[in-house]
Structure 1
């Protein structure tokens, strides 16, 4: 009897040990497959160093921009208030995207695969913030164009309170457009990780993809890809280009007949120099915007969503370019602005207060248009 009991105990221990060994092996295999799938779309040799560098530069640049644009002398102007919002939105974009890439590439930890809520919410926020970033730049161009042309509308549109309301309206609209992600993105599946002597062990895994149903996949593959393409790149670029053309025409070809000429009273030459800086800045913004995001447009038009792993190098390059747009925006709309530089020097205590006041007075009218 004692022998049978000992034998039974020994068999149970062997069975438990065998099960644990199998579980460990299967989990190792699962982690290895997960790691492979993470790097399948992008090349980690490119994304690893880029994510760290870009996140570091973008964090410093956007933080400095937000501090400068929220100073008292700047935040009372609508354009600078938009740019303060843009700094925060770009910072969120970088941490949502690059932060998750760093966790995946270095620690094999994917935020979206932890649970279904994080899958939906992280994907939703990523789309909302990237679209919002493009549209803030678009509103900046519209704000400048209105400030140079329509005086009556300028008094109502180009105000700080109006900027706050417009930004809130954009947040709500873009969130509603992308709300389907919260409803249909991702699924939870149960897989068998061990089966011994009719004893099966299961594990829940999160599949964070749009391929949750045939209907949603067809919607995401065609209609929504077109919506995303137009709302993220094409429509903002067209509007920015039109606004830049309007500003250039008003400033270079009809300056003597505009209300602007009456406002500045004898300071036309200085005003023209400042006005040209506005147009140059808008041109650079538009040019860099389209150069950095054009590859994404090409990828969305010609890539099959199910065949993304065939374009690892191309996807890695487009990833690098798109996040550079969010990380380096402060260089384009901040460092190129005399008002930005003056305020930054004042914050750092390295500017002459008298010279700062004189220069601020010189560009006083043009602060409503963003430089």
Structure 2
């Protein structure tokens, strides 16, 4: 009960500070900073949709996923979306740095902010399509042995 608020508070402060530093004009000239900015946003999304939701459920007993069928589906989609984006942004960042180190002459063309934006947009679209099944495969149901609703 004490751990989650500390993680949420520390994660929020860290992600907001990272975001504020990374959006400065001097920082926006390389693809690494763009990827790190997107990572701080996606990590904040996961932090609030997952950890904060869990903490609120522990403290108050209110579970957002059990309010309606739509809230179950949207919350599940956002959790999966945020987790996948965070993971795959790290992959794009790693590939970007690998290209910069192993192929320095090609890095001037490949490792640009414009290229990073396009890759990130493609990544977000692929993850949305990949997780779109949540809207027809997830939903609220009641177990026979209890009267509780589950998502």
Query: What TM-score do the two structures reach when normalised by structure 1?
Result: 0.38
Distance 1:79 1:149 in 2: 16
Distance 1:124 1:206 in 2: 18
Higher radius of gyration, 1 or 2: 1
| CA-CA distance at 1:152 after TM superposition | 4.6
- Which residue does the alignment assign to 1:207? 150
- Which residue does the alignment assign to 2:26? 73
Task: Find the residue that maps to 1:186 and give its secondary structure.
Answer: coil
Distance 1:110 1:149 in 2: 49
Which of 118, 139, 142 is the equivalent residue of 2:92? 139
Task: Find the residue that maps to 2:2 and give its secondary structure.
Answer: helix
Distance 1:186 1:97 in 2: 17
- Which residue does the alignment assign to 1:93? 46
| CA-CA distance at 1:158 after TM superposition | 0.7
Distance 2:64 2:55 in 1: 11
Q: Does the 8 A contact of 2:4 with 2:55 survive in 1?
A: yes
- Which residue does the alignment assign to 1:259? none
Q: Count how many residue pairs are aligned between Structure 1 and Structure 2.
A: 148
- Which residue does the alignment assign to 1:102? 55
Query: What TM-score do the two structures reach when normalised by structure 2?
Result: 0.91
Structure 1 residue runs of 5 or longer lacking an equivalent are: 1-47, 192-202, 209-371
- Which residue does the alignment assign to 1:357? none
Q: Does the 8 A contact of 1:100 with 1:111 survive in 2?
A: yes
| CA-CA distance at 1:206 after TM superposition | 4.5
- Which residue does the alignment assign to 1:58? 11
Task: Find the residue that maps to 2:124 and give its secondary structure.
Answer: helix
Q: Does the 8 A contact of 1:79 with 1:140 survive in 2?
A: yes
Q: Does the 8 A contact of 1:113 with 1:206 survive in 2?
A: yes
Distance 2:122 2:149 in 1: 33
1:217-232 alignment, distance < 5 Å: none
Q: Does the 8 A contact of 2:5 with 2:55 survive in 1?
A: yes
Relative contact order, higher structure (CA 8 A, sep 6+): 2
Distance 2:110 2:138 in 1: 37
CA RMSD of aligned residues (A): 1.8
